Amino acid sequence: MNIKYLPALVFISLLVSACNSPIEYCSTSETEQALNNFLIEQAIQLTSQKKNDHYDGASIFGAIKIKATLAQVRISLENIKKVKQDADGHKSSCSAQLKITVPPPMLSDVDLVRDTLHQVRIIPYAKALQIDNGNNIFVQNIDYSVLTTKGLTAPTVEFVGEPFAHLLDEIVTSVLLKPTLELKAAGSIVNNEALKPLITTETVQSESNVEKTPTINNDDKPSPVKQDLALAKLVEVEPKKLPAPQVITKTVPIETPVKQIMPSFNCSVATKPTDMTICNTADLARLDNENMQLYKNARASDPVATKDIWFTSIKAKYACKTTVDCIAKVYKKSMRDYVCVANKGSASCKIDTLKP
């Protein structure tokens, strides 16, 4: 080797070594990207689990929609510090300020949806997770570790990110639910307009006749004797002109519109015959709401058993097509099993033998 090139080679070797030093991994772009990916993956998992909470959940919480919404949120690290490094030099303990920036229009949509669902707004929700807020920016001081193992192209990040993952999940959930809630609200307005009572011609005519009918005060009403004398006198003077019979009129009462019961899913976008039957049958809509509430209670107790009941009952329900009694029977069966699961009795609920 030519001696004159040796200093240059040594310098390059030291430079590469410094770039790969665990000390620097706390603040590299690779570390920040790894932490970003870790949070995004956790949020996607949380939001994707909500597919089972809605009949049309698969279309609302699709993976592409979740990722596209999360892509609008910026995750960054600031004030990065290395706390310590292990003896082998493969693990660096770091601290930093994790910052999540949400576009203001998105934040407004989130609060609008949460108001509609009677949920606490997103900033108080973040504070409950001990995440500070300034306008549309959410920040929290975090600790994380960076592992560097020989042969890996990128560092591995160890980080307890549940608070921020839940915050991202709530933000994404609200954004994705907004179009569905708007359609449901529009459908309710249309239904309410259709239920407004019409004033019939008979009612108008009856009210008109009532206005022309004189009212009789009981205090001024003549006694039967005076009535007979008056009638006799009238007959004597004009025998052919007897008093015309009194016409009794009545008004047709305006019926109070019956409030339509809406099921737990959005009827304005329903296309399946079974769903449309539920939307048009008040008893089925009521059972659907009760079934959904019991499903949520059971899911909080035993998600696995509840999921089995859900898919079995959905299959049985759609097999009923438009038969009301069949659909009602499926609902009542699944409701009994949800109650069983919620009461910690999933082993005796006979979930695998669900039949309509």
Same domain? For 185 and 271 the reply is no
Residue 340 lies in a domain: yes
Same domain? For 294 and 151 the reply is no
**Which of 189, 206, 223 delimits the end of a domain?**
189
- DSSP label at residue 96: E
CB 255 within 8 A of CB 197: yes
Same domain? For 92 and 181 the reply is yes
Q: Residue 262: what pLDDT?
A: 87
Same domain? For 292 and 153 the reply is no
Residue 129 lies in a domain: yes
Same domain? For 153 and 274 the reply is no
Output the six-digit token pair for 299.
Answer: 């899911």
Same domain? For 269 and 150 the reply is no
Residue 171 lies in a domain: yes
Residue 242 lies in a domain: no
Query: Low-confidence residues of the chain, pLDDT below 50?
Result: 1-20, 22-23, 198-208, 210-216, 218, 231-232, 234-239, 353-356
**What total number of domains does the chain contain?**
2
Same domain? For 163 and 278 the reply is no
Q: Residue 299: what pLDDT?
A: 85
Whole-Å CA distances, 71 to 18, 29, 89, 178, 334: 33, 18, 34, 18, 38
Closest to 274 in 3D by CA, of 322, 221, 345 = 322
**Which of 189, 219, 234 delimits the end of a domain?**
189
Residue 303 lies in a domain: yes
Residue 132 lies in a domain: yes
Same domain? For 35 and 175 the reply is yes
Closest to 147 in 3D by CA, of 157, 160, 138 = 157
Alpha-carbon span 323 to 224, nearest angstrom: 65
Alpha-carbon span 138 to 167, nearest angstrom: 9
Residue 238 lies in a domain: no
Residue 230 lies in a domain: no
Q: Which domain holds residue 343?
A: 263-353
Q: Residue 148: what pLDDT?
A: 76
Same domain? For 175 and 268 the reply is no
How far is residue 134 CA from its own chain's centroid?
26
Same domain? For 142 and 273 the reply is no
Exposure pattern of 231-265 as b/e (b: 16+ CB <10 Å)? eeeeeeeeeeeeeeeeeeeeeeeeeeeeeeebbbb
Q: Residue 1: what pLDDT?
A: 45
Alpha-carbon span 265 to 53, nearest angstrom: 10
Q: Residue 31: what pLDDT?
A: 86
* pTM for this prediction: 0.52
Strand, helix or coil for residue 133? strand
**Which of 189, 213, 242 delimits the end of a domain?**
189
Q: Residue 193: what pLDDT?
A: 58
Same domain? For 180 and 271 the reply is no
Q: Residue 291: what pLDDT?
A: 92
